[in-house]
A and B are shown apart, each in its own frame.
Chain A
Amino acid sequence: MPAVKETVETVKTIDVDQYKYGFVTDIESELAPKGLNEDIVRYISAKKDEPQWLLDWRLEAFRRWQTMVEPTWSRCHYPAIDFQDLHYYAAPKKTPGPKSLDEVDPELLRTYAKLGIPLREQEVLAGVEPQNRVAVDAVFDSVSVVTTFKAELAKAGVIFCSISEAVKEHPELVRKYLGTVVPTTDNFYATLNSAVFSDGSFVYIPPGVKCPMELSTYFRINESKTGQFERTLIIADAGSYVSYLEGCTAPKRDENQLHAAVVELIALDDAEIKYSTVQNWYPGDSEGRGGIYNFVTKRGDCRGARSKISWTQVETGSAITWKYPSCILRGDGSSGEFYSIAISNGYQQVDSGTKMIHLGKNTTSKILAKGIAAGRSDNTYRGQVSAHRKATGARNFTNCDSLLIGDQCGAHTIPYIEAKNSSAVFEHEATTSKIAEDQLFYCMQRGLDEEEAVALIVNGFVKEVLQQLPMEFAVEAQKLIAISLEGSVG
């Protein structure tokens, strides 16, 4: 069990309070003035040199947003956010549209090196093992700084670039699909994102193409008092396949930072998209100060027949997580999957889950959610499964398990199930358990110390979900889980 051992060793080198990614990179930034109004929306659009149609799209969203109120139905509690006290655009100054790694500010590259992710990429650049290659897009504050492997992907016909670049180079695709899964009117945060999104990733896989490598985006919030609003759009054309990974970190800061992303996935006939996230935004300190407010709208549209979308998430960071990666099962025979590990410790609040909307005939979905609550945290699974009148033969299987560590945390499961036709078969299983003192004692009697014992039991608990992650990510996630639970017992 080398990964668990490694986990434990990593844990031992870290202080309770030590968020590994909590450094600030000293880089000169170009900031928009604080606050949000039509001028700021125009400023962002102008900075990106956008076409009129996109500016109009943003303005429409902004006007809509002004009429909306912040949702309060989640179980997360936090002081009201002052949306006028934030910068809505921040860009590293020295990087006007880099074309290759050489053009990127070395300070930025050092940041990515510190974060670990690019090590893999650097290996890749050095020509290590072709099957392990990962193409990376990195978004620093608001701007995409580097996308690797573009040329090679282009050979396969795959487009992988920042969304700003896609607006310029592939306007017909962006215009055709942007906002078709998460409309600008969708919800408070998605609408805000539509008005002010600054960058993000864009992927298009042409018909019949199996993307030759994993695609990955790395998000980093650096600037203080900045909101990060990235927008990701992935289109898998008929019969294609893509696996996409996303990682997130932020510096330690005493104030809360806002992150409101939108991700839209579109799978056409027989296409498959696998989307994996390891979210490790700064969770706040042990007193509950600081941390990222993570309000994210992620939705996949199985638009074509027999298409498939699979979400896998490992959520360990953020002070508040409000996130429901969902699937609209529109195409006949399409299928959706949601695999989730949500860990909360300290004062973190998680309200996360999924929606599986069955519209087409013989559509299937599977939900496997594992929540782990420790410290004084609160961890809620909220999930909706519904079948439309025409969705005959719809099937869903849901399994939600919660594990409590200690007696000051909470776990909640809130399922919404709705079947409008009699042929739908929905199954729901849920369990809540506590790491029993007896279980820990048993492991310790065999020689494991307390932290090794917790890591072993927790890794057993989340195993089925970890297995869904690409190999390298699974190891990373396993480490992260142990680090997140550091100091949760005893």
Chain B
Amino acid sequence: MLEIRNLHVEIDGKKILNGLDLVIRPGEVAAIMGPNGSGKSTLSYVIAGKEDYEITEGDILLNGQSILEMEANERAAAGIFLAFQYPLEIPGVATMTFLKAAMNAQRKARGESELSPGDFMKAVRGAAEKLGINPDMLKRPLNVGFSGGEKKRMEILQMSLLDPAYCILDETDSGLDIDALRIVAEGVNALRGAGRGMLVITHYQRLLDHIVPDVVHIMAKGRIVKSGGKELALELEKNGYADYVEAA
């Protein structure tokens, strides 16, 4: 279980999260919806362990253990994966090289042996094919010159290869046309179940037509203001965030 308790977060003295409580159960797909500036991306960075934030109060627990003292790479090895809204470019580093470095680093952190080159190739080829990724693309430097859709697909490829316990998808639908959105959503859906928890962060209902959540949380002014079933997303689509923001 991934549990966030009364989380207060500041950056440069500015308060972003304001007593946020949230629970993601194994196997559950939770969606967080909220207007711009409500702190959604901050939440995803803080869970993943980005350093720029100051946590003034509260805790984040993974299976009952606080992860606040862990480095980003340690959290990754413990099973937390963040699909970035804007995936970074790594010039000169072939995608394949990057994937192998990441997979082996996590395996090593967990005390497992490195993948054999054969097993690695098989895993990557299989996962890439499912996402409609051309194998030639894997030879290119990671994300350099990739289209928005290609970058997002690359995130899902990494997610499937790293096999995390909890996935956070930050605005995965941004910058995608409808075809790309469908492919990415299919990739995500294929990774559902098997006890894997997911937190899908989005502005819009449309992503949730493709990745149907078990629970929907509405976030405003740095905390969760309402939680409900998937119908909550539809209601939001109709009435907007205004009422929630005012109430927060």
Q: Which residues of A contact B (CB under 8 A)?
A: 1, 4-5, 436-439, 441-450, 452, 456-457, 459-464
Chain A proximity of B104: nearest CB distance (Å): 7
Task: Give the CA-CA distance A4 to B93 in the complex, in Å.
Answer: 11
B50: chain A residues at CB < 8 Å are 441
Task: Give the CA-CA distance A149 to B125 in the complex, in Å.
Answer: 47
**Interface 1/0s, chain B 116-144, versus A by CB < 8 A?**
00000000000000000000000001000
A439: chain B residues at CB < 8 Å are 88-90
Chain A proximity of B59: nearest CB distance (Å): 20
Let me know if B220 is at the binding interface, CB within 8 A. Answer: no
Let me know if B98 is at the binding interface, CB within 8 A. Answer: yes
**Interface 1/0s, chain B 44-88, versus A by CB < 8 A?**
000011111000000000000000000111011100011010011
The contact size tier of chain B is 20 to 34
Select one of B82, B97, B98, B103 contacting A445, CB under 8 A: B82
Number of A-B contacts (CB under 8 A): 87
Residue of A nearest to B89 (CB): A439
Dominant secondary structure at the A interface? helix
Chain B proximity of A464: nearest CB distance (Å): 7
Residue of A nearest to B168 (CB): A445
Task: Give the CA-CA distance A44 to B77 in the complex, in Å.
Answer: 63
Select one of A4, A436, A447 contacting B106, CB under 8 A: A447
Q: List 12 A-B contacts (CB under 8 A).
A: A5-B104, A442-B90, A444-B49, A444-B73, A445-B72, A445-B75, A446-B162, A447-B105, A449-B73, A449-B105, A450-B71, A463-B92
Q: Judging by beta carbons under 8 Å apart, are A448 and B101 in contact?
A: yes
Chain B proximity of A399: nearest CB distance (Å): 13
Residue of A nearest to B81 (CB): A445
Q: Judging by beta carbons under 8 Å apart, are A447 and B109 in contact?
A: yes
B72: chain A residues at CB < 8 Å are 441, 444-445
A443: chain B residues at CB < 8 Å are 90, 98, 102
Q: Judging by beta carbons under 8 Å apart, are A444 and B76 in contact?
A: yes
Q: Judging by beta carbons under 8 Å apart, are A446 and B100 in contact?
A: no
Let me know if B202 is at the binding interface, CB within 8 A. Answer: no
Task: Give the CA-CA distance A442 to B91 in the complex, in Å.
Answer: 13
A447: chain B residues at CB < 8 Å are 73, 76-77, 102-103, 105-106, 109, 162
Select one of A5, A441, A445, A460 contacting B93, CB under 8 A: A460
Residue of A nearest to B50 (CB): A441
A437: chain B residues at CB < 8 Å are 51-52
